[in-house]
Amino acid sequence: MPLPDAKALLPVAQDAVGKAVEYVLAHPVTGVRDKGDREIVTDTDEAVERIVRDILVRETPDLGFLGEETGATGDRETYWVLDPVDGTTNFSHGLPLNAVSLGLVHGDRPVLGVIALPFLGTRYWAAHGNGAFRDDVRLHVSDTTDLSRALVALSNYGGGPDAPVRDLLSAALDRELSRRTQGLRRLGATAVDLVFVAEGALDASITLGNRAWDTAAGAVIAREAGAAVVDSDGSPHTTDSRCAIAVTPGLCDAVLSLLDITRETPYRPGWGAIPAAERRSV
């Protein structure tokens, strides 16, 4: 399938996210269940995914779909990707830092994103080449150039088979960022981190690990707002990236220098090609 007209698909994405927000606001949290690896799912996550998937299948039947809760269906080259409630733990505790995050991916590159923060009443969107917006206000990243003046978000400690390495990397970054920046935050929702970078409320967001439903929509929004959106080695961010780093350009080199600690770990591109005997345990 050729590159879709992302701007033309924005109304479909906006409508689907709007219906999701209506549901989230109307339905208190119920049915919290443990998914393992310190992750949970609620009945709301599953209901929102059904609502959004059904709209997208009806309106764009030629496009595929990937949801955090239900997996992939349809075209694998051009597909919607959804996190129905990013920041589910926040959501289950009544913390308003959570998001409905819907992106469109073509090949390995996100090209459209719509993210709503239901309990803050804000919505962010972008289409490739058309800028990024919050509630019709055009967004631009901060102009910060001094790491000591920066406010930075860092992803949570890890789950899954790489959790021991991720936890060690997170602890090391926690120490360095706490020492060298104006402030470090763990907000618990990658989509929230990324849109806050886009609007300049954060100067950088570092996510160790890269899951498309967490990052696709926010990566487009941050990139269209002027952020450098890259992997841990500075290469352009894609759905195949090991990590997702969004940073205002004036801090890119400083942030990437901190991420040199990911060398020879699973959080660096090319790690799978390194002989096992040469891989670092951090």
The annotation places the binding site for Mg(2+) at 68, 83, 86, 214
E-strand stretches of 99-242:
99-106, 109-117, 122-127, 132-134, 137-138, 151-154, 183-185, 204-208, 228-230
Closest Cα partner for 193 from 129, 278, 98? Answer: 98
Bridge-based pairing of strands 64-67 and 78-86 is parallel
The answer to whether the beta carbons of residues 100 and 118 sit under 8 Å apart is: yes
Sign of the alpha-carbon torsion through 22, 27, 28, 31: negative
Binding-site positions read 68, 83, 86, 214
Count of Cβ atoms closer than 10 Å to residue 32 Cβ: 16
Question: Residue 272 carries which DSSP code?
Answer: G
Distance between start and end Cα atoms, the chain: 42
Count of Cβ atoms closer than 10 Å to residue 178 Cβ: 12
Largest pairwise CA distance in the chain? 54
CA distance readout (Å), 275 to 265, 268, 271:
11, 14, 9
The answer to whether the beta carbons of residues 84 and 49 sit under 8 Å apart is: yes
User: Can you tell me the distance from the alpha carbon of 155 to that of 231, in angstroms, rounded to the nearest whole number?
Assistant: 14
Residue whose pair of structure tokens reads 């007209």 in the numeric block: 5
